[in-house]
Amino acid sequence: MCEAERAGVTSEAKDLFDNYAEYNRILRTWFVAYGIGGPVLFLMQDKVLAAIKASGSGRMIAGAFLTGVAAQVLVAIINKWSTWYVYRDAEEGSAGAHRIAHWFTDQFWIDMACDIVSLVAFAFATFRVLAVSA
């Protein structure tokens, strides 16, 4: 019997969660790649770099990109930490020993909030770069 069946999780539920996990991983990869790659692309263009410097918005733009990346790193750390403890509880048969970790794994809103923060921060930074370099 597999782990999912022992835990009372159906094969369909496991497949659906695996699908969710894959999309989650892809989205986080895109967010971090854009949060790091976006500024690099903008700053490699002399005209854009000069416009950002002249506008005085450089720190604000950099801060927005860093905020978006930081939100993704934060949620990855929370998920990694909580999933490890939930896994250890399952391995040791001590469900609930790490209650806060179990609570975090049930809180979808934390992931969504970090995704929204990243999306808003990246959109703000991108539109600000486009506004000052137009």
Beta-carbon count within 10 A of 92 CB:
9
3-state SS of 10-56 is CHHHHHHHHHHHHHHHHHHHHHHHHHHHHHHHHHCCHHHHHHHHHHC
User: What are residue 57's phi and psi, to 5 degrees?
Assistant: -100, 5
Residue 8's pLDDT is 63
73-124 per-position pLDDT tens digit: 999 999 999 999 988 888 888 767 789 999 999 999 999 999 999 999 999 9
Looking at residue 16, its pLDDT comes to 83
User: Is pLDDT at 3 greater than 70 in this prediction?
Assistant: no
Q: What is the pLDDT of residue 48?
A: 92
The answer to whether residues 79 and 102 touch, using CB atoms and an 8 Å cutoff, is no
Concatenate the DSSP letters of all residues of 55-116 into one string. Answer: HT-HHHHHHHHHHHHHHHHHHHHHHHHHHHHHHHHHHHT-TTTTHHHHHHHT-HHHHHHHHH
Q: Average pLDDT in the 35-63 region?
A: 93
Compute CA 20 distance to the chain's CA centroid, rounded to the nearest angstrom.
14
Task: Provide the sign of the torsion angle of the four alpha carbons 18, 21, 27, 31, taken in this order.
Answer: negative
Nearest-Å Rg of the Cα atoms of the chain is: 20
Residues in the chain: 134
State the pTM of this model: 0.81
Tell me the three state secondary structure of residue 2. coil
